[in-house]
Every structure is written in structure tokens, then in C-alpha cells.
Amino acid sequence: MKLLIILFIVVFCRAEEDEAVLKRLNKMETEINKLTTGMKKLASENIIFKAENKYLQEVNQNMLRKMKNLEDLMSSNLNDTTLSKRVTVINPVNVAFHANMVGLKLSLHDNEVLHFDKVNTNLGNSYDEHLGVFQSPTPGFYVFFVHFLTIAPKSIEAHIVRNGDIIQNVYAGIMGRTDAGYAPGSNMAIVQLKQGDRVWIRVHDHYHDIVDVLDGPWCTFAGYLLYPEI
């Protein structure tokens, strides 16, 4: 009888141990299933990520090709513009001025810089009426015009000057006649200027009258930028 009881106890304990082991195995199997599901999900997400990355690379390559084509097109247009002499610059400095003298010019001196001190137009603020000097803000080709009206029988010879060098002569007068009250004279010049070059009107060092020569309001100095250089 004792032997049967002991055998029963052993069988019962073994059954409890087997049940505990079975529970642990089931729990482990559940965890393994969860891990397997997670790994499958990660693998699926990795495939999606690789596909999206490939798509973004293709988009990037397409954008780079478009940018290269645009750069080539802009370069081609710039070359065509240069060859055709139709010069285009971004935001060019627009330049134009127009000024007269105030009142009568009572006296003239050798090599005097004439001041056209009544400014009517000064687009770009490049003409200084206090000095009588224009200073180029933009490299390019400029047109300059000067006009005198002398009081007979007076005359004046002057020059359009760039950085001290004569680029054009100007004369106004009656050449010895006294049968007219006034005598006009004018001239113009088209000149290439660098940035910072200066232009002014200078009286001749000898050939001019001295007193009561010019009727100022009729005397004009003007200029403008014909086209800029690249």
C-alpha cells in the first residue's frame, strides 16, 4: 500500500512538472511567433524603404538632368546674345543727364572746366553740377552732347574731355562778324568708358574770348548710356 501511494505521488509530481514544461514551451512558441511576425514586418518595411529610396534616386537624377539642360540652354542663349551684339545685362545701371548754365557766363579762363549747374535730368546721379564732371558708373558706350550760344561778336572753342584727354572739339561764334546778336555751336561724341572714367567740358587754352561770352540758359551739356558692356 505504501508503495502505491509513493508511486502515485511520483506520477502526480511528474505530471505537474510536465504541465509546467508544456506551459513554458507554449509561452516560448508564442514569443517565437511574435518575433517571426515582427521580422516579417521589418522585412516587408525594408522592401518598401528600398523601393522608395530607388524612386527618390530616380527623381534626383531626373532633376539633375533638367538643371544641366537648363544651364546648357542659358549658356547657349548668352553666347547667341554676345555673337549677335545684342548685349543684355541683369539690372544695368540706367544713366542719363542734362544740364544748363545759370545766367550769363561773365568770364572764361584758359583750360577752365565749365560748370553746367542747372541740372534738369540726372538719372543714376552720375553728373556732379558742382564740379561739372560726369563719372561713369557702368562700363559701356556713351553719347555726349554740348551746345553753346555766344553773345556776338564773342566766340569760344572748347573740348569734350575724357580723363584729361580731348575726344571732341566744340566751337561757337561768328568768326569776326558783328551783324548778328548770337551765334550757336554744338558737337557730340560717342565714346567707350570704363567704370569710373570721367568726362567734362574744358575751355581751350588759348582760342576763346574772356568777358560776356556765353548766354548760359542756352548752353547745354548732356549724355546718356547707349548700351552697357558685359
CA distance 200 to 221: 9
- Residue 67 shares a structural domain with residue 133: no
Of 67, 86, 105, which closes a domain?
86
- Residue 78 shares a structural domain with residue 108: no
- 159 in any annotated domain: yes
Q: Band the pLDDT of 99: cuts 50, 70, 90.
A: very high
- 184 in any annotated domain: yes
CA distance 227 to 141: 6
- Check pLDDT > 90 for residue 70: no
Write the CB contacts of 183 (distance below 8 Å, at least 6 apart in sequence): 149, 150, 152, 155, 172, 173, 174
- 219 in any annotated domain: yes
- 113 in any annotated domain: yes
Q: What is the pTM of this model?
A: 0.59
- Residue 39 shares a structural domain with residue 140: no
Domain span at 146: 96-228
Least confident range from 5-19, 36-50, 106-120: namely 5-19
Of 86, 118, 144, which closes a domain?
86
CA distance 107 to 142: 30
- Residue 37 shares a structural domain with residue 79: yes
CATH of the domain at 186: 2.60.120.40
- 122 in any annotated domain: yes
- 79 in any annotated domain: yes
Write the CB contacts of 200 (distance below 8 Å, at least 6 apart in sequence): 113, 114, 131, 132, 133, 134, 161
- Residue 60 shares a structural domain with residue 81: yes
- Residue 20 shares a structural domain with residue 54: yes
**What does the chain come to in residues?**
230
- Residue 75 shares a structural domain with residue 162: no
- Residue 216 shares a structural domain with residue 196: yes
Q: Band the pLDDT of 163: cuts 50, 70, 90.
A: very high
- Residue 155 shares a structural domain with residue 212: yes
- 91 in any annotated domain: no
User: Residue 148: which of 110, 96, 97, 203 has the closest Cα?
Assistant: 203
- What is the phi/psi pair of residue 88, to 5°? -130, 130
- Residue 175 shares a structural domain with residue 145: yes
Q: How many domains does the chain have?
A: 2
**pLDDT tens string 193-217:** 999 999 999 999 888 888 878 888 9
User: Residue 155: which of 185, 128, 127 has the closest Cα?
Assistant: 185
- 103 in any annotated domain: yes
Of 61, 86, 111, which closes a domain?
86
- Residue 79 shares a structural domain with residue 105: no
Q: What is the mean pLDDT of residues 116-131?
A: 94
- Residue 158 shares a structural domain with residue 61: no
